Structure 1
């Protein structure tokens, strides 16, 4: 079933508005939309008259591939390079829909092949975005540039790779399009293919010599992006081609950090098999186990612990993974940490134990778990506050009640809580 033009327009406008680069946006707003249109709209020679309706008819005919109607309108004459409110010429319309006969006619009529629309896209960009390989090849043969960039720095190759158009990418590469060019986000076509889950495209680009890793410490590597997108096949493929499982982004995080926070056990296993270091720390000295303890699943936390992650490792704020789980209320992670021997009363730089953090956030189940695991509710922070004081200060009345009930129960029994029970079950 063919997609209605209105639907395609809505999708294209969404894509263009999201990808609009801030600098271009600033310039456009400064100049004003009306002034932009006046500057880029072709001037009519004196004596030639036609109506705006004729221009719309030309664009609509080019969109629909109506060759004879386009011929009639050009003889009227309607300027071949007239632009619609989006900056599209008839060639943009015809190229986007792959109407090669109309494209050839418009080129014979003298249309500018590299005319840019409102978002700096040429007809070649539009043809590649929609995967019309024959149209893209013809445009390249008659002089279309594959180096022109959109407002967000994307070449036609970026758009073709992002949308999974293998034939179009192959055509661009035959015309020596730069396979590892970067957009304003420092993403190559490989990044886009990985992010959108196009396995065949990833193989094609890697075979064309695209670097499998990004610039260390400057941007997110393709394997990190594959983890972020939850693309297990992409992770497997990139590691097979030699991607560095320990590549770091600007914040010092590796793919294992990203995976630990997302909770994908299968991808985590692939990274560990591919050589990922479980004790690697980011710019804040947080290890993957810290992130997993805060937001990850039980399975991921368990796998990291069994792989040798440090139970009492401290980040820049001297917080352990148990602090992270207490802060976020991740009781499943806390159960595992305590079961495998994490220290329950380790203090961070302000003297707060995990129990203090749980009381501040009002995580009642976490409070019970920590106290049953041996946490001392009488310990003081550097500000001389107990867990009860913090709960009262932050108006966590339920948490305060849990602590008081626990204290009374221990006073009544005349016992201190056991150091650690079997709580991982």
Structure 2
């Protein structure tokens, strides 16, 4: 079912507005909004001004491919280069909608093939966004630049790959468009194809010689991005093509770190089968089990433990996975960690045990699990605070009640034990 023009237009406005803001906010602040608007949207000389209604009619006719109406409007003196509020000319509209005869006519009338809208997009960008290969090929034949970048640093190839237009991608690659160029977010066309799950485009780019791993230490590798997007097909394809499963981003995280935080069981199994190392630490000495214990599912935590993840590994703050589960209230993770032998009273850099962190956040279920697992409520932090003191300070009354009930039950058990011992001595 074709997408209505109104929906496409709304989507493009949103995309362009975000791109423009991120790229040009400094200009707005430095020059002032009014001056900036005049620089980006210069008015035509008074002798060439025309009715805004006529200009809107021209743009609508180009959008709808009404060539005869366009000719009539141009004969009335409406300039072909007039811009709408987004900076689009008639050829931008025609290229985006795929009306090749209109594009040819407007360019033959002298419209600049590389004219740009307010977001630095040329007609080629707009044609590639919507996947009109014939229009893109014609523009390229007339000298349209495949290297021009939008305000977000995207080339036409970025837009074609992001939207999965295989034919348009082939046309751009034939014209030697750079397949490894990066936008302002350091994403290549491969990143965009992977993120949006464009499997055929991913294969085409890899076949064109694009590096499967990108640059080590950059923001994210394509594999890490596929994991973040939860795209199982792309993960499988990249691993099959030799992607380094243990490659690190600028924070030292691997794909397994990202998967552990997202909790995707199937992708986790793919990564482990592909040779992912469970003990790789990032820049803060955080391993995947730390992240899984904090926000991951029971299944992910279990798989990491069975794969050899260290139960008591400490990060730069000396926090163990059990600290993470206590801090984030992940009860199931805490149960698993204790079941497999995690140390329940380990202290982090500030002298706090997992019980301190659970008390501070008021995670009563985790508190009960920790206490049943042997947690001692008496240790004091570097501020000489017990778990009960922390709960009281942060007004966690339910947590305080859980601790009091546990202490009462312990005293009762101790009393009964003493009485039983005395009775045995008497008899």
TM over 0.5: yes
Equivalent residue for 2:78?
78
Alignment of 1:118-267 (within 5 A): 118-267=118-267
| 2:93 match: secondary structure | helix
Distance 1:203 1:213 in 2: 14
Equivalent residue for 1:51?
51
Worse-matched range after superposition: 306-315 or 3-12:
3-12
Equivalent residue for 1:273?
273
Alignment of 1:248-397 (within 5 A): 248-397=248-397
1:327-361 deviations in whole A, cap 9, x for unaligned?
Answer: 11111001111111111111111111111111111
1:94-143 deviations in whole A, cap 9, x for unaligned?
Answer: 00000000000001100011011010000000000000000000000011
CA contact (8 A) 2:317 2:348 kept: yes
CA contact (8 A) 1:136 1:168 kept: yes
Shift of 1:36: 4.0
Distance 1:351 1:43 in 2: 70
Shift of 1:28: 4.7
Relative to structure 1, is the Cα distance of residues 332 and 252 closer, same or farther in structure 2, using a 3 angstrom cutoff?
same
Per the normalisation by structure 1, the TM-score is 0.94
Relative to structure 1, is the Cα distance of residues 248 and 355 closer, same or farther in structure 2, using a 3 angstrom cutoff?
same
Equivalent residue for 2:408?
408
1:119-174 deviations in whole A, cap 9, x for unaligned?
Answer: 00000000000000000000000110000000000000000000010000000001
Shift of 1:20: 2.4
CA contact (8 A) 2:27 2:36 kept: no
Equivalent residue for 1:420?
none
1:52-105 deviations in whole A, cap 9, x for unaligned?
Answer: 322222111111101111112222222121111111111001000000000000
Distance 1:355 1:2 in 2: 57
CA contact (8 A) 2:302 2:336 kept: yes
CA contact (8 A) 1:41 1:83 kept: no
CA contact (8 A) 1:224 1:255 kept: yes
The structure with the largest helix share of the pair is 2
Distance 1:67 1:122 in 2: 21
Alpha-carbon RMSD = 1.9
Shift of 1:217: 1.4
Shift of 1:35: 5.9
Distance 2:39 2:364 in 1: 65
Distance 2:2 2:303 in 1: 48
Distance 2:49 2:383 in 1: 82
Shift of 1:326: 0.7
CA contact (8 A) 1:44 1:79 kept: no
CA contact (8 A) 1:37 1:85 kept: no
CA contact (8 A) 1:367 1:399 kept: yes
